[in-house]
């Protein structure tokens, strides 16, 4: 009798254990599995990236091969992939998916990057030049300096620049003002002026993604008909500008450069420009 009762109890436990394991297996089978690979901008596996199931508490880190495998509840739609110093990426769940992450343009680049730029704006040249009226009247200093000419020029300016920058960097800039007639003047309103200059300077990143650049150089100016056929002037030129990076490869910049001659004739040139830059990320 006791043996019969014991046999029934053991049978009941075996049956309950079987169905309990089966129920647990059913629960496990109801889990979804999300698998995939995380790669960087060069399409290389990215180990250590965190992959989270959006709307659920399941997550995992990629292995040395950039692979991840996450058990989650049914109904998961997207994953969130994060990695230090990289832009977080959200992506729709797909079978054995691939997620590519990279650095954001707001962050300091890992290496120096080349860039080129082009600007256009308005240039202003203000000469105050003294000449003797005639050789016969060049008898004393007063006669020599009493005849002067104030002529103002407002002309378009075009400049191109190139450089290399990380946190700090350098740049070179060349600018030109096509020959243009004066806008105001005394006896030489039909005179013409053209400018050609070169600037070299340094650049520093103030904060993501703003850059400040400062430089110096020279400008060479040709005046025609004031009063000789051509009159040449050279001035020191100083440059200041801001570059704002707006995308991975693009940026906008503003600059102003001014200069003044260091000889007896007064000469002042100022240029204000706005333009764009292109960064080579590779």
Percent of the chain past pLDDT 70, that is, above it, reads 72
Contact predicate 119/275, CB 8 Å: yes
Tokens of 13: 């436990």
| Mean pLDDT score, 62-82 | 92
| Mean pLDDT score, 135-140 | 50
- 202 pLDDT exceeds 90? yes
Task: Please name each of the domains of the chain with its CATH number.
Answer: 32-102 (2.60.40.1120), 113-280 (2.40.160.20)
Query: What single DSSP character describes residue 182?
Result: -
What digits encode the pLDDT tens for the residues 112-121? 999 999 999 9
Burial status of residue 93 (CB atoms within 10 A of its CB: 0-12, 13-18, 19 or more): middle
The dihedrals phi and psi of 70, each to the nearest 5 degrees, come to -130, 125
E strand or H helix that includes residue 21: helix 2-29
Least confident of 5-14, 26-35, 236-245: 5-14
Mean pLDDT (the chain) is: 79
């Amino acid at each position: 009798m006791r043996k019969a009762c014991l046999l029934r109890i053991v049978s009941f436990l075996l049956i309950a254990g079987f169905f309990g394991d089966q129920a647990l297996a059913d629960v496990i089978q109801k889990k979804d599995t999300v698998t995939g690979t995380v790669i960087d901008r060069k399409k290389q596996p990215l180990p250590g990236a965190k992959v989270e199931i959006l709307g659920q508490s399941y997550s995992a880190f990629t292995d040395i091969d950039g692979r991840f495998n996450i058990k989650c509840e049914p109904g998961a739609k997207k994953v969130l992939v994060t990695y230090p110093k990289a832009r977080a990426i959200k992506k729709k769940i797909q079978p054995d998916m691939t997620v590519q992450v990279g650095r954001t343009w707001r962050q300091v680049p890992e290496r120096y990057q080349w860039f080129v730029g082009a600007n256009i704006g308005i240039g202003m040249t203000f000469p105050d030049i003294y000449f003797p009226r005639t050789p016969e009247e060049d008898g004393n200093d007063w006669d020599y300096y009493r005849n002067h000419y104030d002529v103002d020029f407002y002309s378009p300016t075009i400049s191109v620049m190139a450089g290399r920058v990380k946190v700090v960097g350098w740049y070179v800039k060349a600018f030109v003002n096509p020959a243009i007639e004066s806008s105001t003047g005394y006896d030489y309103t039909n005179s013409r002026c053209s400018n050609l200059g070169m600037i070299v300077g340094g650049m520093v990143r103030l904060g993501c993604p703003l850059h400040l650049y400062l430089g110096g150089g020279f400008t060479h100016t040709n005046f025609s008909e004031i009063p000789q056929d051509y009159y040449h002037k050279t001035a020191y030129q100083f440059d200041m500008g801001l570059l704002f990076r707006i995308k991975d490869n693009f940026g906008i910049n503003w600059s102003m450069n001014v200069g003044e001659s260091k000889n007896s004739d007064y000469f002042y040139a100022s240029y204000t420009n706005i333009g764009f830059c292109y960064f080579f990320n590779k």
